[in-house]
Chains A and B, each alone.
Chain A
Amino acid sequence: DSGVTQTPKHLITATGQRVTLRCSPRSGDLSVYWYQQSLDQGLQFLIQYYNGEERAKGNILERFSAQQFPDLHSELNLSSLELGDSALYFCASSQSTGFGTEAFFGQGTRLTVV
């Protein structure tokens, strides 16, 4: 158990809908990363938050947004969903954004858009 909790584990929704994925980082970790993994693909970095502030952005679509709350949990919002958004979405957390930082992953949320 990595200590990173993601909910829900599975999500099935229709095209055009909006969903929210939730991540609770490990105790004491200030930094949260979101990744998308399509079938048999690598991990695509979406966005990183550190102590409530956006710190780095990857290939995140405009239809997607995220935030990190004062209690450090984070939510990833996906709207106007398309079939191609079906993927595993992972959250990772680390203590800081500093050098030499290890990141630990949650179990992921499997999103299926039908």
Chain B
Amino acid sequence: GQQLNQSPQSMFIQEGEDVSMNCTSSSIFNTWLWYKQDPGEGPVLLIALYKAGELTSNGRLTAQFGITRKDSFLNISASIPSDVGIYFCAGHSGLQGAQKLVFGQGTRLTINP
């Protein structure tokens, strides 16, 4: 089946550092979504991207939809302790009316104060 390759799998950073993670696929996606999941909770949507080349920000978060439609990245600037969690990318693919939302394996972010 379709897979999203998300990297890195984990990150250990100091508070205040910037963070960058990305997702790649061998297939084209029509939409890229970025989610954050806290332990024991459901994923929460952070940013949605709809067009190739689109760059969207949400506070300290910035995400881009790759020109080839096969990749996306998420940047977090000036990290703070509440940024800790698992970040997932997800992509919509498939024909209209028969789409699947496929997730990457996640990037676990740990912040040292």
Is chain B a partner of chain A in the same complex? yes
Known contacts A43-B88, A107-B42; decide if A102 and B48 are in contact (CB<8 Å): yes
- Bound: A110/B42 CA distance, A: 11
CB–CB B100/A45 < 8 A: yes
- Contact partners of B50 in chain A: CB under 8 A: 99-100
CB–CB B105/A50 < 8 A: no
- Contact partners of B90 in chain A: CB under 8 A: 43, 103
CB–CB A102/B1 < 8 A: no
Known contacts A43-B43, A100-B30; decide if A56 and B1 are in contact (CB<8 Å): no
Closest A residue to B47 by beta carbon equals A102
- Bound: A67/B97 CA distance, A: 17
CB–CB A101/B92 < 8 A: yes
Q: Which of B42, B99, B103 contacts A97 (CB 8 A)?
A: B99
- Contact partners of A92 in chain B: CB under 8 A: 101
Q: Chain A contact residues: over half helix, strand or loop, or mixed?
A: loop
CB–CB A90/B98 < 8 A: no
- Contact partners of A100 in chain B: CB under 8 A: 30-31, 48, 50, 92
- Contact partners of B112 in chain A: CB under 8 A: none
CB–CB A42/B97 < 8 A: no
Number of interface residues of A (CB under 8 A): 31
- Contact partners of A28 in chain B: CB under 8 A: none
- Bound: A41/B50 CA distance, A: 27
CB–CB B103/A98 < 8 A: no
CB–CB B97/A55 < 8 A: yes
CB–CB A104/B45 < 8 A: yes
CB–CB A48/B88 < 8 A: no
CB–CB A42/B105 < 8 A: yes
CB–CB B94/A105 < 8 A: no
Known contacts A45-B102, A45-B103; decide if A58 and B42 are in contact (CB<8 Å): no
In the A-B complex, the 5 residue pairs with the smallest Cβ-Cβ separation, listed nearest first, are A105-B42, A42-B105, A43-B103, A100-B50, A56-B100
